Amino acid sequence: MKKNLFLSIVMVAFTMMSCSANNAGSESQVNAPEKGKTEKMTQVKLETSLGDIVVELYNETPQHRDNFIKLVKEGYYDGVLFHRVIKDFMIQTGDGNSKNAGPDRPLGDGDPGYTIEAEFIYPKYFHKRGALAAARTGDQVNPERRSSGSQFYIVTGKIYSSDELQMMAKRMGDMQKQEIFRRLVMENKARIDELQNSQDNAALQALQNELIQQTEAEAAKTPFKMTDEQIDAYTSVGGTPHLDGQYTVFGEVIKGMDVVDKIQNTQTSRADRPTTDIKIIKATIL
């Protein structure tokens, strides 16, 4: 990683030490079923105003699975709009405030009043076309990358060439190093505060160099690399690889991608809301 990249990061990180949350993404490790046993996955039908979509929920993301099932049984999703639709990217829904919302009402902030701990089962589950993933607020206000209690999106994405994926993999590797560095900065918060208060710039520079070396060493142990399955999916059916490892993928569409495409191809406003309302009429556990 280039040193000047860290210089810009460290200036921001050193001046934002008031943040008390750990900046490292929270990952949930889930034990796989015993060898030879396959745990049945829950399927949910989303009856939309443009047709039916059937999704399957992964058992390896139990908090997201159980919460989704709970909301479906409560009827939370019945009547919500697809309030954010971006062609060749994704379609998003689950804002409880979108039910019967007027055309000028801002949407995207509605939820049940809680968030869910991130469950990154990566690289097994990634943002291929048809992936079902949880929406969330950005890293600046949500460093643990906790998911919205209700909002989710379905990936449409696009097909990438091998060269494009290589370039993207490099950028994601750089992002991985940035995240490691930010975590190390937070772990050294007390020392940084002490050096700032004493205005010991030489020691701050030395500490920065030390954290850079630690970052490079840690990243070298687990270098970012796309799996063969990812490369095959992104070069054949497509997806949104730049979201991998950033948002919890907790299921996938098993029927109705033609309906998803109808939704993504609808006309939208500047706020990415369809100009003609598209809603989930009813969600049902199959």
Statement to judge: residues 94 and 142 lie in one domain: yes
What would the two tokens of residue 61 be?
Answer: 């993301």
- Are 145 and 244 within one domain? yes
| pLDDT of 17 strictly over 60 | no
pLDDT at position 248 is 97
Indicate whether 27 pLDDT > 80: no
Task: Give me the sign of the Cα torsion angle 171, 175, 180, 182.
Answer: positive
Q: Are residues 117 and 244 in the same domain?
A: yes
DSSP state of 164: H
Residue 3 pLDDT: 39
CA dihedral angle for residue 60, residue 253, residue 89, residue 83, rounded to 10 degrees: -100
Alpha-carbon gap, residue 126 to 277, rounded angstroms: 29
> In this predicted structure, what is the pLDDT of residue 171?
83
Give the 3-state secondary structure of the chain. Answer: CCHHHHHHHHHHHHCCCCCCCCCCCCCCCCCCCCCCCCCCCCEEEEEECCEEEEEEECCCCHHHHHHHHHHHHHCCCCCCEEEEEECCCEEEECCHHHCCCCCCCCCCCCCCCCEECCCCCCCCCCCECCEEEECCCCCCCCCCCCEECCCEEEECCECCCHHHHHHHHHHHHHHHHHHHHHHHHHHCHHHHHHHHHCCCHHHHHHHHHHHHHHHHHHHHHCCCCCCHHHHHHHHHCCECHHHCCCCCEEEEEEECHHHHHHHHCCCECCCCCECCCCEEEEEEEC
| pLDDT, average across residues 259-276 | 96
Average pLDDT, the chain: 86
Clarify whether residues 98 and 214 are in a common domain: no
pLDDT at residue 51 above 80? yes
| CATH number of the domain where residue 152 is located | 2.40.100.10
| 178 and 279 belong to one structural domain | no
Task: Tell whether 141 is covered by a domain.
Answer: yes
- In the numeric block, the tokens 């160099």 are attached to 209
Higher-confidence position of 106 and 15: 106
Q: What is the pLDDT of residues 204-249, one digit of tens each?
A: 899 999 999 988 888 787 777 788 999 999 999 999 999 998 899 9
Predicted confidence (pLDDT) per residue in 102-142, tens digit: 988 999 999 999 999 999 998 999 999 999 999 999 988 99
Does residue 63 lie within any of the structural domains? yes
Number of domains observed in the structure of the chain? 2
73 inside domain: yes
Query: Region 258-274: what's the mean pLDDT?
Result: 96
Which residues lie across from 228 on neighbouring strands?
A: none
Orientation of helix 201-221 relative to helix 3-14, angle to 10°: 120
Are both 84 and 224 inside the same structural domain?
Answer: no
The answer as to whether 256 is a domain residue is yes
Q: What is the mean pLDDT of residues 252-278?
A: 97
Same domain, 140 and 258: yes
Backbone angles phi, psi at 206, to 5 degrees: -65, -40
pLDDT for the residue numbered 45:
98
What's the pLDDT at 36?
A: 47
Residue 20 lies in a domain: no
pLDDT at 13 over 80: no
Q: Are residues 184 and 280 both part of a single domain?
A: no
Residues 100 and 225 reside in one and the same domain: no
**Of the candidates 235, 251, 267, which is a domain's last residue?**
235
pLDDT digits over 53-87, tens only? 999 999 999 999 999 999 999 999 999 999 999 99
Task: Specify if 2 maps to a domain.
Answer: no
pLDDT, residue 38, reads 66
Does any domain span residue 229? yes
pLDDT above 90 (res 257): yes
Q: Over range 1-15, report the average pLDDT.
A: 42
**66 assigned to some structural domain:** yes
185/189 Cα distance (integer angstroms): 6
Is the pLDDT score of 19 beyond 70?
no
Q: Which of 235, 253, 268 is the last residue in one of the domains?
A: 235
Q: Are residues 104 and 231 in the same domain?
A: no
116, 146 Cβ separation under 8 angstroms: yes
Domain that holds residue 179: 160-235
Residues 209 and 178 in one domain: yes
Same structural domain, 71 and 192: no
Q: Residue 165 pLDDT > 60, yes or no? A: yes
Residues 6+ apart with CB under 8 A from 258: 51
